[in-house]
Amino acid sequence: MAKKNNPRRVAENEAMAKLRMIRISPQKLNLVAQMIRGSKVDKALADLEFSHKRISGDVKKCLESAIANAENNHGLDIDSLIVSEAYVGKNLVMKRFRARARGRGARILKPFSELTIVVREVEEAA
């Protein structure tokens, strides 16, 4: 007796990619995600290619994965894809201490975050 398939988390004309355990704060990652939200995928890839932010390479890799999922797994046309959702979530926070004067310690927080990108196929208006 086979196990039932899980229902899709996104619609039939959408594909998703998720990147977990990214070593950057969610606030900084959201600045890059905000840059590509709602734009066409070729423009979003160009924006990420020439961005000066350190994390833009990882975001570009996740977007390329979402595009590949759309093409290979769901048979969507990559020329008519837009980035419908790009949202950031918190992950764990590593806590470290730094020695300070007079025997004290200062806490250092090293946050991790996760990124979810959903691409959608849109029909061109004739």
Separation between Cα atoms, residue 36 and residue 42, nearest integer Å = 10
27 confidence band (pLDDT: 50, 70, 90): very high
- Is the pTM value of this prediction over 0.75? yes
Residue 30, classed as helix, strand or coil, is: helix
| Topology annotation, domain 16-121 | Ribosomal Protein L22; Chain A (3.90.470)
Q: Which helix (H) or strand (E) holds 2?
A: none
Question: Using one digit for the tens of pLDDT, what is the confidence trace for 84-103?
Answer: 999 999 999 999 999 999 99
